[in-house]
Amino acid sequence: MEHINNKQIIAYYLPQYHPTKRNNEWWGKGFTEWTNVGKAKKLYPGHYQPKVPSELGYYDLRLPEVREAQVELAKEAGVTGFCYYHYWFEAGFEELERPFNEVVESGKPDFPFCLCWANESWYSKFWNKDGTAQKKILAEQKYLGHDDEEKHFYSLLKAFKDKRYIKINGKLLFVIYKPLDFLDFCTFKNHWNQLAKANGLPEFYFVGQTFDIEKIDDIIRVGFDAVNHCHRLDNYFQYTKYVSFGMRCFNYVRRLLKLPFIIPYRLAIKHSVFSSDFREDVFPTMMPNWDHTPRSGRGGTCLHNATPELFRKHAYEILSTTDKKKNKVVFVKSWNEWGEGNYMEPDLKFGRGFINALKQAIQDKEYKINNIIKTNL
């Protein structure tokens, strides 16, 4: 599905919510992300935990009815497509592939999609109270060269040929989570583009994801077409380091009390637009919320008091960075990462609040643009 010169709002989608053989072995029979979500606890006064899903419940992504319901909610919010996280460690070693494979095989839901290769090793992490972690490797991310790249490509060929697959500038959108971990990205890029051509497909539009604003130019230099800057806190950290004495004092007390790293959402979004977001080769990210204490306890980071009202303002500002761009692409992090407190789906506290907030931000933006057009006629 081609979207050129139109605003695309693409939400990252976690396909974790179903048991797998390896997760059963690693974490216990029946483990899913809901296991972490369900055992979350309040760690400080005013901490919003546990977070409980409302309309969709503690769903299982093996059910097509759940996937259809998710798409209906996404459409209501104004999301134009899902970017499914994809886990390929080496040939014969994938994880969490079932929901996406069923979307491709069934042809449903009828909703645009693309992929983000989450190319990092998996560890069991034991979080210490100071925020550090002890790690044991479970699944090692490998880059085995030509043959493995080819098997990887052909495992996804049916998806790439699907009419729903999102394209930018006529090319297949493919996001890579750790773009600088490749020993030779250009070789991989050329190989996959050759395979695409041999199978009657257009080339790929490779987007590198980064949490570090300083890495944007490095990612472009190694051959990526664009960068998705996911982390919205770089400016906030500069603010608290050099400007806000009160926040420095708060963080000192927090460390003494062994609390999570707490960031007021209202301050985080105040400093969440970057000059780089206006570049044609940078796709910004809007973030409705974040709290990964269900996974990491007191070692976690929490965007405190994230509300739909504040998210509406944040979404509007992020959308505004695309006004003068050819490719008006924005990512939402994320649609359903409940274990990181990072989701758009309805919960018991806010209902459809974040969905309605994004919908309203889009309408506000369109209203302003239409008024500008009328004024200039």
Confidence of residue 42 (pLDDT cuts 50, 70, 90): very high
Domain span including residue 130: 8-376
My answer on whether omega of the bond before 179 falls inside 30° of 0, hence cis, is no
User: Does residue 107 lie within any of the structural domains?
Assistant: yes
User: Does residue 1 lie within any of the structural domains?
Assistant: no
User: Does residue 3 lie within any of the structural domains?
Assistant: no
* Exposed / middle / buried, residue 96 (Cβ in 10 Å: 0-12, 13-18, 19+): buried
Mean pLDDT across the stretch 71-91?
98
pLDDT for res 258: 81
Answer for the pair 193, 204: CB distance below 8 angstroms, yes or no: yes
Mean pLDDT across the stretch 195-204?
98
Distance, CA of 233 to CA of 99 (rounded, Å): 32
pLDDT for res 128: 57
pLDDT digits (tens, 9 = 90+) for 221-233: 999 999 999 876 7
Q: Residue 93, Cβ neighbours under 10 Å: how many?
A: 13
User: Does residue 2 lie within any of the structural domains?
Assistant: no
User: Does residue 203 lie within any of the structural domains?
Assistant: yes
* Exposed / middle / buried, residue 189 (Cβ in 10 Å: 0-12, 13-18, 19+): buried
pLDDT for res 299: 85
Report the number of distinct structural domains present in the chain.
1
Whole-prediction pTM: 0.92
pLDDT for res 207: 98
pLDDT for res 271: 86
Residue 159 identity:
A
Q: Residue 30, Cβ neighbours under 10 Å: how many?
A: 10
pLDDT digits (tens, 9 = 90+) for 55-75: 999 999 999 999 999 999 999
**CATH number for the domain that contains residue 283:** 3.20.20
Confidence of residue 29 (pLDDT cuts 50, 70, 90): very high
Answer for the pair 212, 274: CB distance below 8 angstroms, yes or no: no
Confidence of residue 2 (pLDDT cuts 50, 70, 90): very low
Residue 150 reports pLDDT greater than 90? yes
Phi, psi of 196 (to 5 degrees): -60, -45
Distance, CA of 365 to CA of 332 (rounded, Å): 17
Residue 243 reports pLDDT greater than 70? no
Residue 344 reports pLDDT greater than 60? yes
